[in-house]
Amino acid sequence: METTPYRTWVEISREQIARNYRNVRAAVGPDVEIAAVVKSDAYGHGAVEVSRILEREGARWFAVSTAEEGIALRRAGIAADILVMADSLPFIQESLAEFRLTPVVHALEDLPALDEFAARLAAPLKFHLKIDSGMGRLGTRSSAATIAYALAAAPHVALDGLMSHFASAADYSTARSDKQVRAFNRLSADLRKLGVNPAHRHMSGTTPIAYARREAWHNMVRPGHALYGYLSMARGDAPPRILEVAPAIAWKARVLAVKDLPAGALVGYGGMFRTERATRIAILGAGYADGLPHRLSNRGNAIAGGKLVPILGAVSMDLTTIDVTDCPAIAPGGCVTLLGSEGEASINAQEMARMAGTISYDVLCGIRTRVKRVYV
């Protein structure tokens, strides 16, 4: 029996996260900087601990979504550069200076206020400028001349990086990503002619790394999903994959009760499942309030005693029911696996996501904070 004193928890392998990072490093080579993406609590893996692991591995940049996420890393002692990718609101300016955070500017109209704030500081405030190369979301679509003029009018801030974001990185059946690369490279070249030559250029996350879209690496990449052991499947005529990673997380839940039901019994809210035979069920201490998708009701699986077993009826807020008729060793106090492997059986976040009609990012980021993180 598991001795971990929790009803549901995740076990996160420090070594696997470190190994995934080393594999990314080997793929891109020594001349490309890695900004490790640890936003959304490192995709549910715990941003502080993951950042400590990666800093020991030599990571010199981390990427987060909000200033609050960056502040949490600084307060935990993370010394590397921290890029705040999606939080350019005026009220975060004081935090940028106090906690040495590098903001991403998405619109040239934001530069005057940032420059005015930086003028009151003892040293220039560095930032990265996001280019909308075809994503149609955050980022400026301004010309090189307009960008250069705006930068010249903001002498107290320093452009440290130029970045963009792919819209369909895994889709090789269209030319959309190629067009984005060309647009970004063309603007970069035009800016260089105007004397704008930032230290960092980056637009690639996990997928362009994994499928060797080297022309999009520039001198910095932003892996996220790969660090936690996942790669998206490419569509179309993709080149061979050059990166291999493995999941670093296993999700467990305690068995709260085991009981026998006769044939024809209804299970759970709404009686969504009716037993067709005499059935032994186990009730688990995890539900949608813990992040187990409600859409796994009557369709998802868990692993009990090394066997893949079905979820019966509705996933409820705090409880989930599984069929353990063929797993006689399962007893109250034992545990089952929601994500991970036991023997020959395995469930990963991509498989769970397909069952739930979502994406693996959603599954990983959806594991709630009340699910204890245990590092092994």
Q: What is the pLDDT of residue 1?
A: 45
**Which DSSP string corresponds to 277-326?**
S-EEEEEES--GGGT--GGGTTT-EEEETTEEEEB-S---SS-EEEE-TT
Q: How many helices (H) and strands (E) does the chain have?
A: 11, 21
For the chain, percent of residues with pLDDT exceeding 70: 99
Q: Which of 21, 39, 252, 361 is catalytic?
A: 39
Q: Report in angstroms the alpha-carbon separations of 242 from 169, 178, 194, 211, 285.
A: 15, 19, 36, 6, 40
- Residue 280 CA to residue 273 CA, distance in Å, equals 14
Q: Would you state the CATH architecture of domain 249-375? A: Beta Barrel (2.40)
Q: Which of 149, 179, 193, 269 is catalytic?
A: 269
The CATH class for the domain spanning 32-235 reads alpha beta
- Residue 303 CA to residue 306 CA, distance in Å, equals 6
Q: Hey, is 101 helix, strand or coil?
A: strand
Q: Which of 31-40, 82-91, 219-228 has the lowest mean pLDDT?
A: 82-91
The pLDDT confidence band at residue 65, using thresholds 50, 70 and 90, is very high
Q: What is the pLDDT of residue 2?
A: 59
164 versus 4: which is more confidently predicted? 164
CA-wise closest residue to 21 among 40, 34, 10: 34
For the chain, percent of residues with pLDDT exceeding 90: 94
**Delimiting residues of CATH 3.20.20.10 domain(s) in the chain:** 32-235
- CA 310, distance to chain mean position in Å, is 27
> Beta partners for 260?
280
Catalytic (active site) residue 269: yes
Query: What are 199-215's pLDDT values in tens digits?
Result: 999 999 999 999 999 99
Q: What is the pLDDT of residue 144?
A: 97
Catalytic (active site) residue 126: no
Q: Hey, is 207 helix, strand or coil?
A: helix
**Delimiting residues of CATH 2.40.37.10 domain(s) in the chain:** 249-375
